[in-house]
A = this chain, B = another copy of it.
Amino acid sequence: MRIVAIRDIVSPIRSNIANAYIDFSQMTASVVAVVTDLKVEGRRVVGYGFNSNGRYAQHGLLNERFVKRLLDAKPVSLLDDNGLIDPAKCWTVMMANEKPGGHGERSVAVGVLDMALWDAVAKAARVPLWKLLAERYNGGKHDSKAWVYAAGGYYYPGKDLEGLKDEMRHYLNLGYSCVKMKVGGASLGEDLKRIDAVLNIVGSGDRLAVDVNGKFDLPTALEFGRAIQPLGLRWYEEPLDPLDYLAHAALSTQYGPPIATGENLFSMQDARNLIRHGGLRPDRDILQFDPALSYGLVEYLRTLEMLKASGWSPRRCVPHGGHQFALNIAVGLQCGGNESYPQVFAPFGGFADDCPVVDGRVALPDTPGIGFERKADLWSVMKEIA
């Protein structure tokens, strides 16, 4: 098995939506195809990857450094004992001559390539990625379905309370039982009205999470926390700057229900600092590290090891990004579930077309690889690249 070409495109995933921190009108994603010389049942094995929303396409970094290093490596140096591509060896090659620290952007470029490498490996092994992961890293154990929630409730021009309620009704009709909405982009009073409107649709606090996207300072996070504490919400997400561990620790002394964060920490080292210094609680809080943005699954395995060594269960992990890659990881490594974007970030949001969400859970197809071929709108973008 040998990599013969790596191609990438920049795809717009723009939208009129906004969260409390950024708008998405200029958002882009890289999509890559890792083309191999291996044929399985007469078809060439090609692995695909993309980066999830919130960080931008990495065409420059991919081609300036990371693709080049993979293509320049001796092909045999990238293989495991069975002659298949070894993503861990590829990782070492990609990160050669990279200094420690500075985990951003390059973590996305490497993450996109890592996703494609795992897709190729699973296709070469003729198994879905979730099954490969269960066998290699989880003693064969896996879940049959993953818990997912509908992430939406963005601010956008002209959207009123009725629009917000219609959106949430739509998610329930699609089969979701838990939803998430953005907060922190309006006044506290206005956000509380928005939360109340959504609670009227979903029925109870444990079916609604709220997401600040890192916008609050500590006094504002404390004030907002006091206001929502009686509602018993599913979680209070990214209340603070993701790197302000001390403020998280202070908030967790005052806000009792679950806190979620981690989507903007892009390495095992940064995740470890959150665990060490962030004061989070292993019995309730949620960790949202996104493998597609964080040097891929090779690094995510290190993060899971670190968590176990620190007394945290993989069940506390619900990755950001709403992609099939993390969904395979959630099922194969028995994490807590996965984000889902039913309406936004097309064609990257959402899962296989023939695996509907039922009672807030989704099954995975048996297709070899990550399963992109079972999601028509995404596949129509990917198949043009290779």
Contacts and interface: CB of A to CB of B under 8 A. Distances in A.
A269 B101 CA distance: 13
B100 A264 contact: yes
Nearest to A108: B102
Given A99-B214, A100-B241, A100-B242, 5 more contacts: A26-B97, A55-B99, A61-B61, A99-B264, A245-B276
A22 to B, nearest CB: 4
A94 to B, nearest CB: 13
Nearest to A97: B22
Contact of A104 (B65, B96, B105): B105
A55 B277 contact: no
Interface of A: 21-24, 26-27, 54-61, 63-65, 96-107, 213-214, 241-246, 264-267, 269-270, 272-273, 276-277, 293
Most chain B beta-carbon contacts within 10 A, residue among A21, A58, A102, A243 = A102
Given A56-B65, A64-B56, A243-B273, A265 B101 contact: yes
Contact of A242 (B61, B63, B64, B101): B101
A105 B62 CA distance: 12
Nearest to A23: B97
Contacts of A266: 101-102
Contacts of A26: 97
Given A101-B241, A103-B102, A59 B55 contact: no
B101 A102 contact: no
Given A60-B58, A243-B270, A22 B99 contact: yes
Nearest to A264: B101
